[in-house]
């Protein structure tokens, strides 16, 4: 079997998509399209693909089984719609699904009506410690999760320099809500499944960049009762490109996840688990997580001396899982699972060992609605219910 693929948007992500597809034994990259035709040519040439400057021209000339859309955040609708309207049966689109409610609904409805298999590249879902976070929460190993926080910040060089001369216009067409919180919202929906966000209360700051908000911070109220605090900045002067920290408090346990540390901390992941867990259950979960790609130490330990001093007699031993192999995984891993899903005709291909099915246009719609509520709440200075939007 050979899937004929076209890639739209030959920038940072599109060129990585094209290179990764080219490596796949069942995919042929037949076409690459970019409004900057020279960018399309630079990616297409080495892969033996045809370059196009216009997606409609590409779709007229080529019969494609798969189109990957990796245009800037606010420009996903036109190419994904054009590919669906041309009858392309499989789409892999970059996150976010869209930056407006109108675009998100249009893409969702078109995929539903046409029966298009539509995946959204929420790439964080393949990181082993994100799989572990999702697993311990969904297995109830923290008890009921009631609170969490996530901050995902980019270096100020992202909105000012990442896309060269195009950086300001690029960042102005997006924001930390669309570019960064889209990842965070998707992870939270995935971890806390089947809970969904019901209401949002957000603020923004606009004092430094001028052409796009400096940051968004929001409280997300889930219908399970969980409250999550999320924040994403574009104004950090730090040595690293990205800082990403998450933590979750359950009624019986806690996860602390330093995913990407900016300074003075090391990447680390630790889950202190429910005291109801037996040591043999701990080992069974460790084995299940190893099969899902997350290598963890199982720990039966005495918590820090200061905490032991406060513990009542007989309660001083605690069970935990801790990462000793902190890798983020292969950068285009989710794309490989999407291709396997197309070939095997399923949302849970045999290669995917993480929790739940792969993320589709439905996840894209729900993520985009939450981010739209964050933007609307910060603009209006009041809480916004998701039911007000769609
Ligand atoms: N999944 C992830 O982890 C991840 C990480 C970074 C970026 N992204 C997403 O990937 C997408 C692309 O980001 P990027 O950094 O590669 O941007 P980029 O600007 O480097 O690339 C986008 C390209 O699309 C082209 N383009 C614009 N409109 C077009 C159109 N109508 N038809 C054809 N080409 C068009 C541009 O000329 C540009 O070359 C964004 O949505 C971004 O949020 C995802």
Q: Which CATH number do you get for residue 292?
A: 3.30.360.10
Q: Which domain holds residue 59?
A: 3-123+333-353
65 vs 184: CA distance, rounded Å: 30
Q: Of all residues in the chain, what percent carry a pLDDT higher than 70?
A: 97
Is the Cβ–Cβ distance between 118 and 111 less than 8 Å? Answer: yes
275-279 long-range contacts, CB within 8 A, separation 24+: 275/315, 275/318, 275/319, 276/252, 277/141, 277/319, 279/319
338 and 318 co-located in one domain: no
Summarize pLDDT for 63-111 with one digit per residue, the tens: 999 999 999 999 999 999 999 999 999 999 999 999 999 999 999 999 9
| Two tokens, residue 10 | 């030959």
- pLDDT at residue 308 tops 60: no
Which protein residue's CA is at the shortest distance from atom 28 of ligand 1? 71
173 and 309 co-located in one domain: yes
99 and 235 co-located in one domain: no
The CB of 163 under 6 Å from ligand 1? The reply is yes
The CB of 185 under 6 Å from ligand 1? The reply is no
The CB of 331 under 6 Å from ligand 1? The reply is no
Ligand 1: which atom is nearest the Cα of residue 73? 41
Residue 371 lies in a domain: no
184 and 318 co-located in one domain: yes
318 and 337 co-located in one domain: no
167 and 278 co-located in one domain: yes
Which protein residue's CA is at the shortest distance from atom 41 of ligand 1? 73
- Final residue belonging to a domain, choices 271, 304, 323: 323
Which protein residue's CA is at the shortest distance from atom 34 of ligand 1? 34
Residue 385 lies in a domain: no
Summarize pLDDT for 230-256 with one digit per residue, the tens: 999 999 999 999 999 999 999 999 999
23 and 109 co-located in one domain: yes
204 and 266 co-located in one domain: yes
The CB of 72 under 6 Å from ligand 1? The reply is yes
Is the Cβ–Cβ distance between 199 and 386 less than 8 Å? Answer: yes
- pLDDT at residue 365 tops 80: yes
> What is the total count of domains within the chain?
2
């Amino acid at each position: 079997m050979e899937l004929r693929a076209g890639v739209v948007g030959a920038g940072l992500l599109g060129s990585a998509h094209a290179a990764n597809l080219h490596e796949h034994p069942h995919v042929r990259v037949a076409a690459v399209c970019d409004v900057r035709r020279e960018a399309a040519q630079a990616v297409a040439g080495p892969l033996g693909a045809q370059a196009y400057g216009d997606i409609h021209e590409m779709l007229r000339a080529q019969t494609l089984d798969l189109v990957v859309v990796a245009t800037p955040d606010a420009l996903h609708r036109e190419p994904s719609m054009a590919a669906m309207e041309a009858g392309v049966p499989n789409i892999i689109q970059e996150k976010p699904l869209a930056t407006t409610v109108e675009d998100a609904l249009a893409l969702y409805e078109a995929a539903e009506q046409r029966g298009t298999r539509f995946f959204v590249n929420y790439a964080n879902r393949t990181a082993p410690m994100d799989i572990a976070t999702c697993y311990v929460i969904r297995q109830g190993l923290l008890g009921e999760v009631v609170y969490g926080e996530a901050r995902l910040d980019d270096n100020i060089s992202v909105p000012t320099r990442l896309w060269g001369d195009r950086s300001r216009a690029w960042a102005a067409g997006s924001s930390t809500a669309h570019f960064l919180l889209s990842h965070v919202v998707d992870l939270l929906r995935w971890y806390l499944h089947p809970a969904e966000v019901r209401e949002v209360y957000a603020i923004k700051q606009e004092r430094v960049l001028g052409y796009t908000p400096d940051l968004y911070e929001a409280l997300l109220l889930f219908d399970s009762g969980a409250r999550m605090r999320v924040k994403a900045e574009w104004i950090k002067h730090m040595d690293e490109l990205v800082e990403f920290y998450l933590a979750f408090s359950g009624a019986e346990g806690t996860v602390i996840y330093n995913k990407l540390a900016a300074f003075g901390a090391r990447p680390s992941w630790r889950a202190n688990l429910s005291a109801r867990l037996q040591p043999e259950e701990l080992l069974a979960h460790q084995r299940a997580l190893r099969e899902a790609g997350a290598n963890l130490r199982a720990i039966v330990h005495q918590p820090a001396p200061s905490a032991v001093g406060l513990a009542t007699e007989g309660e001083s031993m605690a069970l935990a899982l801790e990462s000793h192999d902190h890798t983020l995984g292969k950068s285009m891993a989710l794309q490989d699972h999407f291709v396997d899903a197309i070939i095997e005709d399923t949302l849970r291909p045999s290669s995917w060992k993480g929790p739940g099915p792969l993320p589709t246009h439905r996840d894209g719609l729900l993520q985009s609605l939450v981010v739209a509520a964050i933007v609307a709440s910060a603009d209006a200075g009041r809480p916004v219910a998701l039911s007000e939007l769609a």
